[in-house]
Amino acid sequence: MTITGEVGAWNARGNAASAVVARGLTKVYGQGDAAVHALRGVDVSFETSAFTAIMGPSGSGKSTLMHCLAGLDAVSGGKVHIGDVELTGLNDKQLTLLRRERIGFIFQAFNLLPTLTAEQNIRLPLEISGRKADQDLFDRVVETVGLRDRLGHKPTELSGGQQQRVAVARALISKPQVIFADEPTGNLDSRSGAEVLSFLRTSVRELGQTIVMVTHDPVAASYADRVIFLRDGLLVSELMRPSPQSVLDTLMKLEA
């Protein structure tokens, strides 16, 4: 069991600098015979200012893990910390405020409100929390994702890649403690995908952003600093400084 050994070792390094920590996380859908154990006890932590990818076969619990970490879904057992706040036990209002203040999201599709322009979409999280946008940061983010001349457009007037870049900008603008991304490049061709991924990596390097990304794609995963692998609701492996090939190898091993 070399793989689990590695995980244990990494986790043992302590989590003084961890943005997100989960301990003994379980999630059960349904009851009795129909119960599905989507997560069976996951211990994991995500370092601050690191880009982590979550991989695993379909149905392994990637999305479930992400939803539980982000406070979008209630856990069945275990604990989740975002920074110094423990999520379990917070009510809906407190969770909402937490998401508002500390978490950014990028989804696979339908990231933007169709009635708002790109700029309005980017500023939306700040508006909701009633914070003022840092104009410097805004300019920098917009510059980074290359949307300067598209700010006044509505989502339907943007390409899929541009839409995802708007979503990235939106996630970055509120300087969240952590950004969760569920297959952000799943709907994009490889070039647009690569663009979005490099923005994500840049934001980690330059802005010190923490990002947790669920993906199916070994190439996408290779942009991360670290990849963790799930299977049947359990954390089974991890890779530091992954390359597409090493990710693919690990996946093959898992599915074998």
Ligand X SMILES: Nc1ncnc2c1ncn2[C@@H]1O[C@H](COP(=O)(O)OP(=O)(O)OP(=O)(O)O)[C@@H](O)[C@H]1O
Tokens 């647009």 belong to 192
Is 107 a residue that touches another protein (CB under 8 A)? Answer: yes
Is 63 a residue that touches Mg ion (CB under 5 A)? Answer: yes
Is 41 a residue that touches ligand X (CB under 6 A)? Answer: no
Question: From the list 61, 104, 125, 242, which residue makes contact with ligand X (rule: CB under 6 A)?
Answer: 61
Is 101 a residue that touches another protein (CB under 8 A)? Answer: yes
| 8-state DSSP, 159 | -
Q: Report the partner that residue 187 touches, choosing among ligand X, Mg ion, another protein, none (CB closer than 5 to 8 A by kind).
A: another protein
The site for ligand X, by CB under 6 A, has a size of: 12
As measured in angstroms, the least distance from the Cβ of 68 to Mg ion is 13
As measured in angstroms, the least distance from the Cβ of 5 to another protein is 33
Q: Which stretch binds ligand X (CB under 6 A): 30-38, 138-146, 147-155, 165-173?
A: 30-38
- CB of 52 or CB of 117, closer to ligand X: 52
Is 76 a residue that touches Mg ion (CB under 5 A)? Answer: no
> Using an 8 Å Cβ cutoff, are 234 and 42 in contact?
yes
Is 30 a residue that touches ligand X (CB under 6 A)? Answer: yes
As measured in angstroms, the least distance from the Cβ of 154 to another protein is 8
Question: From the list 24, 36, 96, 152, which residue makes contact with another protein (rule: CB under 8 A)?
Answer: 96
> Using an 8 Å Cβ cutoff, are 74 and 90 in contact?
no
Torsion of CA 146, 66, 216, 48, to 10 degrees: 60
Torsion of CA 212, 216, 222, 226, to 10 degrees: 40
The SS3 assignment for 154 reads: coil
Q: Report the partner that residue 133 touches, choosing among ligand X, Mg ion, another protein, none (CB closer than 5 to 8 A by kind).
A: none
Q: What is the CA radius of gyration of the chain?
A: 18
From 96, 2, 71, 9, select the one nearest 45 (Cα to Cα).
Answer: 9
Residue 241, number of CB atoms within 10 A of its CB: 10
Residues near 24 by Cβ (< 8 Å), separated by ≥ 6?
41, 42, 43, 77, 78, 79
Question: From the list 60, 121, 209, 237, which residue makes contact with ligand X (rule: CB under 6 A)?
Answer: 60
As measured in angstroms, the least distance from the Cβ of 214 to Mg ion is 6
Binders of another protein among 34-73, rule CB under 8 A?
67, 70, 72-73
Q: CA distances (Å), 77 to each of 22, 45, 146, in order?
A: 10, 16, 42
Cβ neighbourhood burial of 28 (10 Å; 0-12, 13-18, 19+): middle
Residues that bind ligand X (CB under 6 A): 29-30, 36, 38, 56, 58-64
Residues that bind another protein (CB under 8 A): 67, 70, 72-73, 92-93, 96-97, 99-101, 105, 107, 109-111, 113-116, 124-125, 127-130, 154, 156, 187
Residues that bind Mg ion (CB under 5 A): 63
